[in-house]
Chain A
């Protein structure tokens, strides 16, 4: 923070106030153009979700329709295909939550082992984990699909949840976090008092590194919620699919036309709007943890 203030005072000392104010206004306008660009699709989505299917075609995209049809669209959305939309939302929530929690706990346990124990193969194993950060995620999807088909886990939600629990970057983050945030003397004191290793982990380590765990859980939660390629190829049954796969299927169906596809447009737009609300809420509420994760990533 001091850096920002210093620079600001430095600029202030050098320039006349009028000139400074003008550059401030110009820069603000410049950024506003890009802010507008960032919001254009979202504004379009909100406006379109309030329109009837007919108004989508006949009224201006960045304006309101002839009637306010949001509630009707929502009830159409929830009724479509026997209410499968809520099922998709539930699946996404379930997969992302379990993957987020699992990733956080497993990454913390592994990070703790790397940070506070000396054992045979530690450096080799850690190098493997770091190497895995660089494995292209989507290049793994087809191999995972092939293996799942072999083991009978294809079209099983576990085929999406279990791979999503692996967070090599999470292990790295938690190792650094524990090395810096958990005092060796505290652990030794607990051992001398006769505490078992598992108790030490649960009662001391987990409590001290909770903020770091939230970051890892968030990264995995959002990563799983936004994932499309893996569930697309692993899950064939509609009732197992997450929201991304489900909405994309409707989208492709509507685009093909025929079969009443056009009726789907306003339903898809409304569904898209509803589906991004949970992630945006999670993201806004836990902003500070986000930045923590991205910062640590950039230090590497």
Chain B
């Protein structure tokens, strides 16, 4: 305690000083260790694996970029990507459009029982996608699905939600059901940050509700909209749970390469082609990052003044 006065102006002890320098690393350590163990290491190891080929006779052999060359020409992989591109073109605009509409209407406060709607729309997000798919699977089902029952009651041909042509819409419906409310809450939160003097100014200028939405709310929502589009592109290209479980209902419609993740999963588990499964995962990651990047580039070029 002899150097107490000095401690008031400088760090307490020389030992304390070095500890202070060390402190940020100690605080980072748990996160960084897990990050290395479960993000960096799997990526490095999977990349290493992807350079080898598993053969029944010769065991594991170095194959260089052979797996990657194979993926670029693999009709099953790109067929899966194409399925999801079609899926996304239909589903993402519907989902985000509805979310935007609901957020604006609820923000305006021009409805009865606002809180009920806000909560009710968001509730499906709390349901795991596995459970959502099981529920919708039973609703679609030809055995005791209520839509089939209703059609039969009126002597109409029962709708076939599981046919090859309808499947993509049946899946899109499940994903839309799950995520409209989630995206709505993001937009709703962004709308709440619009400064009230803007609202005031537009009132004085006599803007209509539609003009206000188009000229003020949409531009200010633009960053949130971009974010949700990128999230949606990401989520769409990674689709796995819904098609994997719907396979149980329609094995002929959804094959083992219906989506790229389904393909990687079946390569790794049923076929034990680990090296190739790793290469497929990598290329999928690159496709997703590339799609997000291209999308960002396009939107930046479109709106240079923003």
Give A contacts to B, CB under 8 Å.
Answer: 1-8, 10-11, 20, 23-25, 27-28, 30-31, 34-35, 37-42, 44-45, 48, 56-57, 60-62, 105-107, 109-110, 112-113, 117, 119, 122, 125, 129, 132, 134-147, 150, 162-163, 165-166, 168, 171, 191-192, 194, 196-198, 201, 222, 225-226, 228-229, 233, 244, 247-248, 251-252, 255-256, 265, 268-269, 272, 275-276, 279-280, 283-284, 287, 290-291, 294-295, 297-298, 300
Contacts and interface: CB of A to CB of B under 8 A. Distances in A.
Interface of A: prevailing SS: helix
Contact of A248 (B37, B149, B245): B245
Interface in B110-131: 110-113, 116-117, 119-121, 123-124, 126-131
Nearest to A15: B209
A229 B37 CA distance: 19
Contact of A40 (B11, B112, B121, B139): B139
Interface stretch (B61-69, B83-91, B163-171, B283-291): B283-291
Given A34-B121, A248-B245, A135 B285 contact: yes
Given A139-B285, A247-B134, A298-B186, A7 B32 contact: no
Contacts, number: 292
13 contacts: A7-B203, A38-B123, A38-B180, A110-B32, A112-B27, A113-B23, A146-B42, A146-B45, A146-B268, A248-B245, A251-B137, A276-B131, A297-B186
Contact of B110 (A8, A146, A201): A8
B265 A197 contact: no
Given A119-B24, A136-B288, A297 B227 contact: yes
B129 A132 contact: no
Which of B129, B130, B241, B282 gathers the greatest number of chain A CB atoms within 10 Å?
A: B130
B102 A31 contact: yes
B31 A171 contact: yes
A8 B109 CA distance: 7
B78 interface: no
Contacts of B35: 129, 132, 166, 168
A7 B108 contact: yes
B154 interface: no
Interface string B1-15: 000000110011000
Contact of B23 (A28, A197, A287, A297): A197
A16 B292 CA distance: 47
B38 A144 contact: yes
A274 B41 CA distance: 37
Given A139-B288, A191-B11, A192-B7, A3 B130 contact: no
